[in-house]
Structure 1
Amino acid sequence: MEPAIALNISICAALVGITGYAIYTAFGPPSRELDDPFEDHED
């Protein structure tokens, strides 16, 4: 396998992993610990 193809695959895998982790953090079980700052300061 050429180095350029291996680099592209690894960059794509890292991007998919980071995106998956962000979605899991935003909508999965850890999201219960997140606070909405706009709901904390109602006018």
Structure 2
Amino acid sequence: MTSTMDSATVLIISVGVFLVGITAFAVYTAFGPPAKQLADPFEDHED
């Protein structure tokens, strides 16, 4: 058994970490403190 990982395993882990990071950032932006700066276009144009 070698101590290094296959390049495919490194690629899969890297893509997984990237996707988790993007998802965490999106959830933080949508529901965290930056969400107070977001505008709701439906509330802005109520008739």
TM-score, normalising length: structure 1: 0.98
Alignment length, in residue pairs? 43
Over the aligned positions, Cα root-mean-square deviation in angstroms equals: 0.3
Higher helix share: 1
TM-score, normalising length: structure 2: 0.90
Overall identity of the aligned pairs, in %: 63
Q: After the TM superposition, which segments of 4 or more aligned residues of structure 1 sit over 4 Å from their partners?
A: none
Structure 1 or 2, whichever has the larger Rg, is 2
Extract unaligned runs of 5+ from structure 1.
none
